[in-house]
Amino acid sequence: MDNKTLYTIIVHSENIAGLLNQVTAVFTRRQINIESLNVSASSIKGVHKYTITCWTTPDIVEKVVRQIEKKIDVIQAHYFTEKEIFQREVAMYKVSTPEFQSNPEASKVVRRASAHIVEVNPTFCIVELTAMSNEITDLYEKLRDLNCMLQFVRSGRIAVSTSCFERVNEYLAHREERYLKEQKG
């Protein structure tokens, strides 16, 4: 299908073993390839945050998000287009120190990309870059072409929505309020 868009899906869940499996199974069932996945603690105690990117259609992403949200221990799931989020990836480039130093172009490339050199020793240097996905790829290609690359690793995407607060906070407060009201009623 041609009308596929890159979506970022943000999921908040309880921190429970096996939940990742349940979340990714929703994608597997529909044969959707996950482009990147990041799972870590959120700002709320005991709540984990998943940032998942995938190419799909508006219709399918809506259904996927609802099916993720249906999992008992998932608190909320939302999807965003590129415009609706602020997103970054982290990459580390391990380069050979002799090669790196012998070519003045190498450090220029690093500087132009606003990357940092975080470790230097006689054998290798580590360059770190926090940036958009394409910028990370760009730097990788340049360093590779300069023949100094030893190892390369990049993280999954992390993202925050451009709205002011995490909706999940409000949702949890609202849920508890409703429960207490029902108890009294």
Partner 1 sequence: MAKERITGSEALMRSLEHEGVKTLFGYPGGAIMPVFDALYDHRDKLNHILVRHEQGAAHAAQGFARVSGEVGVCLVTSGPGATNTITGVADAMIDSTPIVVIAGQVGASLLGTDAFQEVDLVGVTQPISKWSYQIRRAEDVAWAVSRAFYLARSGRPGPVVLDFAKNAQTELTDYEPLDVDFIRSYDPDPETDPKMVAEAVKLINEAQRPLVLVGQGVELGNAQEELKAFVEKADLPCGCTLLGLSALPSDHRLNKGMLGMHGNLAPNVKTNECDVLIAVGMRFDDRVTGKLETYARQAKVIHLDVDPSEIGKNVRVDVPILGNCKRTLALLTELMQSHKHTEWIDSFAPYAEKEYEQVIRPEVFPGKGPLNMGEVVNAVSEATRREAILVTDVGQNQMMACRYFKFAKQRSIVTSGGMGTMGFCLPAAIGATFGCPGRTVCAFMGDGGLQMTLQELGTVMEQQAPVKLVLMNNNYLGNVRQWQAMFFNKRYSFTPMMNPDYMQIAAAYGIPGRRVMEREELEEGIREMLDTDGPFLLEVCVVEEGNVLPMTPPGSSVNDMLLELDC
Q: Which residues lie near partner 1 (CB under 8 A)?
A: 13-14, 18, 21-22, 25, 29, 62-63, 66-67, 69-70, 72-75, 172, 175-176, 178-179
Contact predicate 161/83, CB 8 Å: no
Nearer residue to partner 1 within complex by CB, 89 or 166: 166
Task: State which residue, 22 or 36, has the beta carbon closest to partner 1.
Answer: 22
- CA distances in angstroms from 90 to 39, 87, 137, 144, 152, listed in the order given: 14, 10, 11, 18, 11
CB of 143 to partner 1, least distance (A): 41
Least distance CB 13 / partner 1 (angstroms): 7
Cβ proximity to partner 1: between 145 and 176 the closer is: 176
| Least separation in angstroms between CB 175 and partner 1 | 5
Would you tell me how many other CB atoms lie within 10 Å of the CB of residue 102?
12
Nearer to partner 1, 63 or 116 (CB): 63
* Residue 147 β-bridge partners: none
How far apart, in whole angstroms, are the C-alpha atoms of residue 20 and residue 25?
A: 8
User: Whole-number minimum distance, CB 171 to partner 1, in Å?
Assistant: 9
Q: What is the DSSP letter of 83?
A: G
CB burial of residue 108 (10 Å; 0-12, 13-18, 19+): exposed
Q: How far is the CB of 131 from partner 1 (least distance, A)?
A: 34
Q: Which is nearer to partner 1, 14 or 119 (CB)?
A: 14
